[in-house]
Amino acid sequence: MTAIPQSRTRRAALVSAVCALAVGLGATGCSEDPDAGTNGVGKLPAKEIQARTQKAAGSVDTVRLSGTVVTSGRTYKLDMRLKAGGGSGSVTAEGSTFHLLKVDDQLFLKADAAFWKHEDAKPGAADKAAADKLDGKYVKVPTGDPSYKKFSGFTDKDLLLDGLLTLHGAVRTDGHHEQSGVRTIRITGDGGDGGTLDVSLEGEPYPLRLVRGGGAGTLSFSSWGEDFALREPAEDDTVDYGKQLPSS
């Protein structure tokens, strides 16, 4: 027979005494309620939780989004701050990192000289001069250029969140969890195959972490409602190629 440490015995006795006192004062039980002191969404059906978090995300103008997105066979690492009028941040893809800035309808891309060089072309003085000219500059992306549609989506808060925050398949709750010290309720689509979303149980039910289904990336959301400056770059720091970007 294994002896029970006296400290554990005293602890158990203390818990029993507190429970007995709580019951005597009219409490119905003494088990810990994981939703005590929360915003209450943890007690809702999964579909209602999803609807609440989508509404909360759409009700504020700003958010920071970081993590990875896999689309069309490519993995993009994002660290973006988004607001109603555009966004700003960095994107890494295939070993190259570039900065995106969108102010209203104007999209700018900033990268180093290596980003603009043709890896499959023979190095030439003209190519090097062109790449050096763009090194560290904000290049204005024409609205008709294929890159505009491709990259502007990374700076569009509503477009991104509308596509990301919908879990696919049967939506169910998956217990109480924690993200960066914040209590969450987790909901899943098709047991996780359709995505997994952690929703804050503290304050507004904002989404805090998303694991996309099918290995399509993991994203964290933070700085909800925290404003930040968003303005076009200075003219002497900008290059405008007109209707089409140079190939890269």
Residue 110, Ramachandran bin (φ over 0: left; ψ between -120 and 50: alpha; else beta): beta
Is the backbone of residue 183 left (phi > 0), alpha (psi -120 to 50) or beta? beta
* Residue range 27-32: mean pLDDT, rounded: 56
Helices (H) then strands (E): counts for the chain: 6, 12
pTM for this predicted structure? 0.78
pLDDT band at 3 (very low <50, low <70, confident <90, very high): very low
Residue 64 has pLDDT above 90, yes or no: yes
134-184 residue pLDDT tens? 888 999 998 888 888 888 988 999 888 988 888 999 999 999 999 999 999
Is 217:75 a contact under the CB 8 Å cutoff? Answer: yes
pLDDT at 31: 57
> Does residue 1 surpass a pLDDT of 70?
no
